Amino acid sequence: MLDERSLPLRERKRLRTRRTLAETALRLFTDHGFEATTLERLVEEAEVSKSTFFRAFPAKEAVAVEAETEVWTAYTAALDRGRPEGVVLDVLRDALTEVAVALDPDWDRRYVATRRLILTAPALLAYVDHYRTGVERQVVACLAGKLGLDDGDLRLQVLAELTTTAWSVAARDWVRNEADGGRERLVRRLRDAFRAVPASLDLRAPGTG
């Protein structure tokens, strides 16, 4: 994803401490719990100061969900680059799918660990909920710009949400099965989820007498 060797020394170091922190955090949080692990303990283990931590991450929660943010960072970046054509929902689906297949090979392991962690810590759940909404806002703004629509257009908001929801459902299933079948399985699940969306509108309560 990121070419390590071509960067200036300072940037390389920044990236290294970032990774060390994320790696250490995932281990500590998994072993002893998110809340039970203090920041002090984490930065001590990673051999950096608290100041450095907050220069790399905006909050304790953020370092725990790196794998999640990687997905959405790539996703919004792809949308920013691309020029939407045809059915917008398809554009979003394709962008997200391409991101999924292009992720770092090590991402699978980290993502699974992250999702499991989230299930155990309410603060993390709150963080990702809000993060996800932020992504949707970003997508809406991006599309509104490119399509010449209003920022408050309900259709854009709906489409942005459908996409994150499809991911969320697909990923939940994928993680539950220990990410068996690898990235291909995730992509298949994602496709299925998008396919199932239109049926939602027509869902009816089964005939009540």
Partner DNA sequence: GAAAATTCTGGCACTCGGTCTCGTTTGGTG
Partner DNA sequence: CACCAAACGAGACCGAGTGCCAGAATTTTC
Under the criterion CB under 8 A, does residue 199 sit at the interface with a copy of itself?
A: yes
Under the criterion CB under 7 A, does residue 154 sit at the interface with DNA?
A: no
- Look at residue 208 and give the partner it binds from a copy of itself, DNA, none, a contact being a CB closer than 5 to 8 Å depending on partner kind: a copy of itself
Under the criterion CB under 8 A, does residue 148 sit at the interface with a copy of itself?
A: yes
Q: Which stretch binds DNA (CB under 7 A): 7-15, 84-92, 100-108, 144-152?
A: 7-15
Tell me which amino acid residue 66 is.
Answer: E
Q: Whole-number minimum distance, CB 9 to DNA, in Å?
A: 3
Which DSSP helix (H) or strand (E) runs through 163? helix 154-176
Under the criterion CB under 7 A, does residue 49 sit at the interface with DNA?
A: yes
| Residue in 21, 64, 65, 88 binding a copy of itself, rule: CB under 8 A | 88
Under the criterion CB under 8 A, does residue 130 sit at the interface with a copy of itself?
A: yes
CB distance 63 to 21 below 8 Å: yes
Alpha-carbon distance 167 to 132, whole Å? Answer: 11
Alpha-carbon distance 137 to 89, whole Å? Answer: 16
Q: What is the DSSP letter of 1?
A: -
Under the criterion CB under 8 A, does residue 198 sit at the interface with a copy of itself?
A: yes
CB distance 107 to 1 below 8 Å: no
Q: Whole-number minimum distance, CB 11 to DNA, in Å?
A: 7
- Look at residue 84 and give the partner it binds from DNA, a copy of itself, none, a contact being a CB closer than 5 to 8 Å depending on partner kind: a copy of itself
Q: Whole-number minimum distance, CB 18 to DNA, in Å?
A: 9
Alpha-carbon distance 121 to 117, whole Å? Answer: 7
| Residue in 1, 19, 32, 55 binding DNA, rule: CB under 7 A | 55
Under the criterion CB under 7 A, does residue 68 sit at the interface with DNA?
A: no
Q: Which residues of 156-190 are buried (b: 16+ CB within 10 A; e: fewer)?
A: bbebbebbbbbbebbbeebbeeebeeebeebbebb
Using the structure block, give the residue that is written with the tokens 């100061």. 49
Query: Looking at beta carbons only, is 23 or 173 nearer to a copy of itself?
Result: 173
Binding footprint of DNA on the chain (CB under 7 A): 8-11, 13-14, 17, 37-40, 47-52, 54-56, 58-61
